[in-house]
Structure 1
Amino acid sequence: MLLTRAHSHNDYWRSRPLWDALECGFCSVEVDIFLHEGVLKVGHEWHELRAEHTLQALYLEPLRQRARQYRGAIYPEAPFFQLLIDLKTDWQATYPVLRKVLEQYADLITHHEGARVHRRAVEVVLSGSRPPVSVLRRERIRFASYDGRLNELEAGYPPALMPLVSDNWLAHFRWNGRGDCPQSEADKLKQIVQQVHSKGYKLRFWNTADLPTVWQLLWQSGVDFIGTDVPTLLRDFMQGQLKG
């Protein structure tokens, strides 16, 4: 079953990066990258980096092969697939290298040329040490979009440039899934969802507890991407919601 709202947080920690998420039907995965000796390596901390764990080897090449298998899609029935790339090293050094890599996957990655959009199987969104919107706007051909924050809702960025708004759950809410969620916090979440959607953006939170009580609140409130470190558990939860 396709799970368009399921997001694999720090996906590279899975026993089989990318593939565990794909087998669960997830439509969004998150990967952290470091620029190390001129190469984009995947990991959460410096000590985790391995020579063979590059962005290309773990994600871009497998996604390319998958898209070729399914005639230009990651899933035959999927409207999109999101690759959220979190830059862990300074964007001024990292992004130029990343951009050159993404250019080599024009057959795989959606890219923007002025007002024209070349739709492909994967949409790349940049998080972490993101290049400023002004940098992305100046590009003649843009292969990645910007992951905004709630304090940027009034900046007026078009959804084509900033399709996603992500923020730290703990910066806005105290409830962690234990006991009943205070009504004031449930109401606040619904208000945030409404504000984000009114601008044409999608919404994601990080630092949410991996608990069904939290997933239930996020699901019912209309949060677009629900993250997890345990894909099989979120899969089972979402399948239950979709089956009614």
Structure 2
Amino acid sequence: MIRRILTMLLALSATVTLLPAAAQAGDRVRPLTRAHAHNDYEHERPLFDALSHGFTSVEADIYLVDGELLVAHDPEDVVPGRTLQSLYLDPLARLTRSGKVRKLQLLVDIKNTGAATYTELDRVLRSYRKMLTSYRYGRVSRDAVTVVVSGDRPRELMQAQRVRYAFYDGRSTDLNSGVPASFIPLISDNWNNLFTWQGAGPIPDAERARLRQFVRDAHAAGQRVRFWATPDVPGPAREAVWRELVAADVDHINTDDLAGLEAFLRSLPPSRAAA
């Protein structure tokens, strides 16, 4: 009898322990399809903080150091063992198997030795292929996690592959280039390279028209749009820029402020919050 009671208490304790972990994984949070976690690895709980706020896109910078794909913003910040696998790929493999993550973009920004780093990334990704969107002999097969490579991207190497488990992050120069979305599904660029408006006062008519045409052209080619270096200090200016991005139907809004973007998007009608 005592043994049975102890067994029941242990089972209850395990259940109570698992519930917060499930909530951390984001399975009870309505996904925010526009929310992109810039430099996600700098948060206290990489990946899990973003998921808990409903984010569906996260960004990790990587360096190839002694054969490891180490996650850090600057080379002096790399720490052995803090790998792309341990912070992102392994947790995502568990979460996708349990059905807690069904659609997520993992933007991997290569910071050094582009071709060598991508070659190792490609080798690593093949071990996780069961959860990854892939390109095979001209066709894209969708799955729970889509890896997009940014930064020092070895374009020719990637284009030559007949089977890939990652895709290419384009720039504004790739817009209307005729390169298919099966290679470039995402067009990203520095906001300040294209626009002068920083949220103070109304956006100039010419810049609003340019922004909306940019998005229309990308969407016509089956590509998504992301801008980095948009204003990210809390306040009316940032909110004004975010409202213009939503109005233009920009797919991914870039931020380091997870709670701030979540609150903004959840204040919108669901049809506007979703890309």
TM-score with structure 2 setting the length: 0.83
1:138 maps to: 160
- 8 Å CA contact 2:133–2:142 kept in 1: the answer is yes
The yes-or-no answer on 1:64 pairing with 2:86 is no
- 8 Å CA contact 2:139–2:182 kept in 1: the answer is no
C-alpha separation in 1, matches of 2:218 and 2:197: 21
1:81 maps to: 104
Which ranges in structure 1 are unaligned for 5 or more consecutive residues? none
Q: Displacement of 1:131 after TM fit? A: 1.3
2:258 maps to: 231
Aligned 1:92-111 pairs, distance under 5 A: 92-111=115-134
Q: Displacement of 1:219 after TM fit? A: 0.6
Aligned residue for 1:74, secondary structure, equals coil
Residue among 40, 44, 59 paired with 2:69: 40
Aligned 1:7-18 pairs, distance under 5 A: 7-18=36-47
RMSD: 1.4
Can you list the C-alpha shifts for 1:143-182, whole angstroms capped at 9, x where unaligned?
1111111111233111111100001100011111223222
Q: Displacement of 1:240 after TM fit? A: 0.9
Between the two proteins, what is the percent identity of the paired residues? 43
Runs of 4+ more than 4 Å apart: none
Aligned residue for 1:161, secondary structure, equals coil
The yes-or-no answer on 1:113 pairing with 2:113 is no
C-alpha separation in 2, matches of 1:59 and 1:53: 10
Q: Displacement of 1:141 after TM fit? A: 1.5
1:30 maps to: 59
Aligned residue for 1:241, secondary structure, equals coil
1:240 maps to: 267
C-alpha separation in 2, matches of 1:110 and 1:100: 15
TM-score with structure 1 setting the length: 0.93
Identify if the C-alpha distance between structure 1 residues 90 and 233 changes in structure 2 by more than 3 Å, giving closer, same or farther.
same
C-alpha separation in 1, matches of 2:231 and 2:145: 27
The one-letter code matched in structure 2 to 1:196 is A
Q: Displacement of 1:107 after TM fit? A: 1.2
Aligned residue for 2:106, secondary structure, equals strand
Aligned 1:120-159 pairs, distance under 5 A: 120-132=143-155, 134-159=156-181
Q: State the aligned residue count.
A: 237
1:176 maps to: 198
- 8 Å CA contact 2:115–2:153 kept in 1: the answer is no
Aligned residue for 2:119, secondary structure, equals helix
Bigger helix share: 2
Question: Which piece of structure 1 moves more, 109-118 or 198-207?
Answer: 109-118
Aligned residue for 1:106, secondary structure, equals helix
C-alpha separation in 2, matches of 1:16 and 1:101: 22
The one-letter code matched in structure 1 to 2:146 is E
Which ranges in structure 2 are unaligned for 5 or more consecutive residues? 1-29, 233-237
Can you list the C-alpha shifts for 1:169-197, whole angstroms capped at 9, x where unaligned?
00011111223222222122112111212
